[in-house]
A and B are shown apart, each in its own frame.
Chain A
Amino acid sequence: MTGSPPAPDHFDLVPDALLAGRAADGDTVAFEALARRHGPLMRASARRLTGSLADADDVVQESLVQAWKQLDTLRDGDAVKSWLLRITASRSIDQVRRRKNHSDLSDLDQRLAAGSGLAGGGAAGAGNPEAAALSGSRMEALKAAVAALPEEQRRCWVLKQFNDQSYEEIAQTLNISVASVRGRLARARVALAREMEGWR
């Protein structure tokens, strides 16, 4: 009596807020549409934060379970993307704290490249091999520089760059002061900018 479920691409152009409202009412199809829409960014962020492909997928899964349970507490449906990313960030940090050995991001990029056949810079101009090669190696240089950052600086930078968090949100996620966030983010940027100086 509930009618046939909409086709999977039915919701492609429906805004987040509407899907969040439906999902909060218990519409699993709308929730899955949100998960498919924001899942890739959640996964990308979790990979940079945990440094592990397997941990990142666990984090995405746990985050979606938590999101489904707590969706009715989300007041502003338009904010569902940043809310999902906030959950992903907290769970990624928890995941790393639970783990004994620290993340090794240079390793992550090797495994990523091995798994996907992409040596980074996949978005680079396809019609221009030289530009693509340059852009590809520039991305590799940035990945290496990000991986070489002290953990706390890297977290601040990823939370800003990937999760688009404010200083206050980063402070909350990492349980540190806003002043520490400012300092670490700036130091991360100084280090990265210096590393990337030669890649202009």
Chain B
Amino acid sequence: MSASGDNFECGHSLEELSIYLDTGEFSDPGHLTECPECQSGLAALRRLAALGDELVSADIAAAGSGTDDWMQSILDNLRLELRPGRDIPVRPDTPGDILTETEGSISALIRSAADSLPGTAAGKCRLDGDVSTPGSPITVRVDVAVVFGHPLEERADALRRGIAATLARHTELNIAAIDVTVADVLEPGFPGPAAGPARPSESSEEKP
């Protein structure tokens, strides 16, 4: 590596080599394979990059795991505000009362219906339609990830039935359609809710 740090005798500089390593751009790419100075400069920069990666790993290890107390105390301090979304009217038992449930609670219901199927996790979830007007047709759109090896169509059908049953039991929404998108296929090894606390799953045989 040149002692000057600016320009090599060949006219190129470590700055050019540094940019080349990040972007692959170099004015005279053929030169790099021939010039010993540029090659030793590149080698030094590559060694530094490897050392830098080592420092990042050491610093991450020193930062501690995300399951440690420091992260727990940060999370405890966050006090995340809820995202209720839209209000959805519910027919009251006593005329004159006004009852609503939130869109956020409906999304949570849909997610838990998906999560209760083995090897399945829900992602984004949408209620398309005018939820604030009783009886208007609503389309549910939900992304899910399914562990590799599970038959996807069967899983999507079971999920549609599960969501329909859950929504019929807990809401008065007029569900026109349930669109399930398998957004991801997970590596086997995903524990799935079966590994967590036991929870009665929505029966996939139940008809909406």
Contact = CB atoms under 8 A, between A and B. Distances in A.
B144 to A, nearest CB: 8
A22 to B, nearest CB: 6
A11 B191 CA distance: 9
Interface string A72-109: 00000100000000000000000000000000000000
Interface size class of A (residues with CB under 8 A): 35 or more
Given A22-B123, A25-B104, A26-B104, A143 B55 contact: yes
B63 interface: yes
Contact of A3 (B23, B54, B109, B186): B109
Nearest to B48: A193
**Which of the listed residues A17, A26, A65, A123 has the most CB atoms from chain B within 10 Å of its own CB?**
A26
Interface stretch (B69-77, B92-100, B131-139, B153-161): B69-77
Query: Which DSSP category, helix, strand, loop or mixed, fits chain B's interface?
Result: helix
19 contacts: A2-B109, A2-B112, A3-B109, A4-B112, A6-B193, A7-B195, A10-B115, A19-B123, A21-B123, A24-B124, A26-B83, A32-B75, A40-B64, A142-B55, A182-B15, A185-B22, A186-B15, A196-B47, A200-B47
Nearest to A44: B59
B166 to A, nearest CB: 9
B10 interface: no
Interface residues of B, number: 72
**Which of the listed residues A21, A65, A157, A193 has the most CB atoms from chain B within 10 Å of its own CB?**
A193
A194 B54 contact: no
Nearest to B170: A1
A57 B78 CA distance: 12
B120 to A, nearest CB: 10
A138 B58 CA distance: 12
Interface in B16-60: 18-19, 22-23, 44-45, 47-49, 51-60
A37 B75 CA distance: 13
A37 B105 CA distance: 25
Interface of B: 1, 5, 13-15, 18-19, 22-23, 44-45, 47-49, 51-67, 70-71, 74-75, 77-78, 80-85, 104-105, 107-109, 111-112, 115-116, 121-125, 143, 145, 170, 183-184, 186-187, 189-191, 193, 195-197, 199
A17 B123 contact: yes
A1 B54 CA distance: 47
Interface of A: 1-4, 6-15, 17-19, 21-22, 24-28, 31-32, 35-41, 43-44, 47-48, 57, 60-61, 64-65, 68-69, 77, 112, 116, 118, 120-123, 135, 138-139, 142-143, 146, 157, 160-162, 167, 182-183, 185-187, 189-190, 192-194, 196-197, 199-200
